Amino acid sequence: MKTYTYTEKKDTRSGFGAGLAELGRTNPNVVALCADLIGSLKMDEFIKENPERFFQIGIAEANMMGIAAGLTIGGKIPFTGTFANFSTGRVYDQIRQSIAYSNKNVKICASHAGLTLGEDGATHQILEDIGLMKMLPGMTVINPCDYNQTKAATIAIAEYDGPVYLRFGRPSVPIFTPADQKFEIGKALQLTEGADVTIVATGHLVWEALEASKALYEKGISAEVIDIHTIKPLDAKAILDSVAKTRCIVTAEEHNILGGLGESVARVLATNNPTPQEFVGTKDTFGESGTPAQLMDKYQLNAEAIINACETVIKRK
């Protein structure tokens, strides 16, 4: 079995910051907007190097989304930065009308997604944002898994013409994808090859899926781990090819099981190849205060939960 190791941990938001800084040097049309969270979004480097292309909006996310839509008229490629909660639920109608329906080339970049925001608690821990964004016609939804992939995704979405929701997070997580990767929107990555069960994971849960696959291997279960960094458009072929071999699947995401990656996968399977599926995600609940590790443990968003789900789903074949 192919195994993954890491030498360094970093937050995915820093990958965004590094990608944005690189875009500042390579693409003169890229502009950035922030609603009073420059440090949290790691936008300092871009701002330092391109002060004229940065717009501090203040604590006014609705205005930020509208200004971003307007900046595209004139050829700019705006990247908005704030927490995932304030990037989606707070401004849903602004995104819906002024960005998605108007098909504006805005990149909505959202940090601190999910439970791993930690101690600030449920007011800030959005677990519904993937669902909100994937329901908007024309919206691309991307949730990369580590620093390198987030940096590559940030750079890639500037080349794509259309609205994008880019979701990343706060905690330091292992860096296990290559620094020189080319990010392809909508193209799933098969990380391990397996025959007994498919694990489709996104974001911070991809590393947990790899940890789970190691433990499963010790138990004689061969798991195929797929990194779905793009939730919409979903790589249906990668999923269907894998379950054609394994005949069962576990989805894993730091998001409500209602409306998330799991439901998108279930739709692909139900309409093409009905397959037993187990869902690792939050069970229609809000989060709470705690350390990221404590929360991922309490809400069962970890390798242990993925292992249990795999063992359950294999029995359902």
Partner 1 sequence: MANTTELQDLTTQVRRDILRMVHKVNSGHPGGSLGCAEFLVALYNEVMDRKDGFDMDGLNEDLFFLSNGHISPVFYSVLAHAGYFPVEELSTFRLINSRLQGHPTTHEGLPGVRIASGSLGQGMSVAIGAAQAKKLNGDNKLVYTLHGDGELQEGQNWEAIMYASAKKVDNLICTIDLNGQQIDGSTDTVLPMGSIEAKFLAFGWDVLTVEEGNDIDAILKGMAEAKALTGKGKPVCVLLKTVMGNGVDFMMYTHAWHGKAPSDEQLENALSQNPETLGDY
Catalytic residues: 61
Q: Which listed residue (76, 90, 214, 245) binds partner 1 by CB under 8 A? A: 76
Please, what is the end-to-end C-alpha distance for the chain in angstroms?
23
> Whole-number minimum distance, CB 307 to partner 1, in Å?
46
The 12-31 contact track toward partner 1, x by CB under 8 A, reads: -------------------x
Q: Which is nearer to partner 1, 52 or 180 (CB)?
A: 52
Q: Which listed residue (5, 7, 75, 218) binds partner 1 by CB under 8 A? A: 75
| Closest to 229 (Cα-Cα) out of 312, 154, 307, 143 | 143
Q: Does 260 bind partner 1 (CB under 8 A)?
A: no
Q: Does 152 bind partner 1 (CB under 8 A)?
A: no
Q: Which listed residue (30, 32, 47, 65) binds partner 1 by CB under 8 A? A: 65
Q: Which is nearer to partner 1, 69 or 216 (CB)?
A: 69
> Of 81-89, 94-102, 112-120, 309-317, which part binds partner 1 (CB under 8 A)?
94-102
H-state helical runs in the chain = 12-26, 38-41, 44-49, 61-72, 84-87, 92-94, 129-134, 147-159, 205-218, 236-246, 261-272, 292-298, 303-315
H-state helical runs in 145-235 = 147-159, 205-218
Q: Which listed residue (32, 68, 301, 310) binds partner 1 by CB under 8 A? A: 68
Q: Does 49 bind partner 1 (CB under 8 A)?
A: no
The percent helix, strand, coil of the chain (3-state, each to 5) is: 45, 20, 40
Q: Does 58 bind partner 1 (CB under 8 A)?
A: yes
Q: Which is nearer to partner 1, 74 or 220 (CB)?
A: 74
| Closest to 195 (Cα-Cα) out of 164, 171, 213, 221 | 221
Contact by Cβ (8 Å): 215, 303: yes
Quickly count: other Cβ atoms within 10 Å of residue 271's Cβ. 9
Q: Does residue 78 have a cis bond before it (omega within 30 degrees)?
A: no
What residues line the site for partner 1 (CB under 8 A)? 31, 52-53, 55, 57-58, 60, 62-76, 78, 93-94, 96-98, 101-104
